Homo-oligomer: A and B are copies of this chain.
Amino acid sequence: MSETTGGEDRMQAIEARLQLLEDEVAIRRLLSSYGPAVDSGNSGAGADLYADNGIFDYSTFVDDRLQEQYLDKRGIFDMLEHGQHQTFIHEGAAHTLGPAIIDISGDTAVATNYSVILRRIGMSITVYRMSANRWDLVRTSKGWRFTKRTTRMLDGSADARELLGRAIAD
């Protein structure tokens, strides 16, 4: 009896579970694209990982003081296209991201992971940066995109610990 298949409700439950698994794959794929986009020098592709209103919230040293900075999508493109980023990738650099905690809620999601920048300096390779990252995401007509990347250097500051802690809070 085909009646035993449970009908429409059961089919919809299966399709919803598939959709969630596919979303998880798509978000991991977007995160895995970050490094290759920026290390290949494709600044356009790097910026296009973000939604149109996407922003990059990071901290950096300004006159020896750590300060928060915000870049919009245009600013992200400029950072990748100009400045020291191009120097880094022409000397040898890997912007690596580790496996992420991913929480999906319908058309939005949050991912949390570590980023480690490795740089070749002369004949040696150094760990140049290690940071905690929170990626806010949205489902767009072109697929999942970042609405906000928040990066805090793992330099002992409370900011980075709090960012990581948000991912494991109940």
Q: Enumerate chain A interface residues (CB-CB to B < 8 A).
A: 1-8, 10-11, 14-15, 17-18, 21-22, 24-25, 28-29, 31-33, 35-37, 39-42, 45, 89-94, 96-102, 112-114, 116, 118, 120, 124-130, 132, 153-157, 160-162, 164-165, 167-168
Contacts and interface: CB of A to CB of B under 8 A. Distances in A.
B126 A130 contact: no
Q: How many copies does the complex hold?
A: 3
B92 A130 contact: yes
Contacts of A161: 39-41, 89
Contacts of A162: 40
Contact of A168 (B4, B45, B116): B45
A96 B116 contact: yes
A168 B25 contact: no
Given A130-B94, A165-B36, A29 B154 contact: no
B7 A4 contact: yes
8 contacts: A5-B5, A32-B98, A36-B101, A96-B114, A118-B154, A120-B155, A124-B127, A125-B129
Residue among A31, A157, A164 with the highest chain B CB neighbour number at 10 A: A164
Nearest to A87: B156
A2 B160 CA distance: 53
A54 B29 CA distance: 25
Given A32-B113, A39-B154, A92-B156, 9 more contacts: A5-B10, A39-B161, A40-B168, A89-B156, A89-B161, A92-B155, A97-B98, A120-B130, A120-B156
B36 A25 contact: no
